[in-house]
Amino acid sequence: MKKAHYFSGLFITVFIVFHLINHAFAIISLEKHLSVMEAFRIVYRNVFAESILIVAVVLQVFSGIKLVLQSRKNAVSFLDKLHIYSGLYLAFFLLVHVSAVFAARIIFKMDSNTYFGAAALNHFPEVFFFVPYYFLAVLAFFTHVACIHFKRTASTLQTYAVIVFGFFSATFLMYALTNHFNGYEIPEAYEKMLEAMSF
């Protein structure tokens, strides 16, 4: 179970790093962000890569919950608990986000590009859910990685440095993906899709 969690997590981590780098280009311009996305999609937007990613997500969530149930009583320290809580949030986020992405593509026939996330981050009242939703996802990712690093190195300084970096990265990405900074308009089709997917 630990090996399944480790290797599926490793694959997902590589994808997430590229995904976050891609989003970071939104701080330059929407055009730059989309051009980088197209370049990255040559690697991961195909049946083979996406199939592995889906399997990895399922393995990660299932094995993660299983490991939490087995080890939660042994989680004594603050970082142990942080490791568990960040992992649980990531499991929630991965299930919701991946489902939403495929719903956009299969049901609504829409490209899940930056407009997909930006529509949620710039639409009232959904913004009050999606800003903390995405912010906590980025922070939880770096926190989870930091806690794993601590288990391997016992370096408190490096661990908290990664968490702090995650906090500022999440803040930076939220800033980059709002039209208040870039001034781009969200296509109406994406706003209608958001309204249709909202409860």
Q: pLDDT (tens digit, 9 = 90+) per residue, 153-165?
A: 989 999 999 999 9
Residue scoring higher pLDDT (31 or 82): 82
Lowest mean pLDDT among 59-68, 80-89, 118-127, 181-190: 181-190
- Contact predicate 181/28, CB 8 Å: no
Q: Is the pLDDT of residue 184 over 60?
A: yes
Q: How many residues does the chain have?
A: 199
Weakest mean pLDDT among 10-14, 78-82, 99-103, 124-128: 124-128
78, two tokens: 């603050």
Angle, in degrees to the nearest 10, between helices 30-44 and 114-121? 130
Burial 152-174 (b: 16+ CB within 10 A, else e): eeeeeeebeebbeebeebbebbb
Residue corresponding to tokens 């407009």: 115
Domain layout of the chain by residue ranges: 2-197
Pairwise CA distance, residues 111 & 157, whole Å: 41
Q: Average pLDDT over the chain, rounded to whole? A: 85
Global pTM reads 0.87
pLDDT band at 180 (very low <50, low <70, confident <90, very high): low
Give CA–CA dist 89/140, Å, rounded.
7
How many angstroms separate the CA atoms of 62 and 21, rounded?
Answer: 27
- State residue 118's pLDDT score: 78
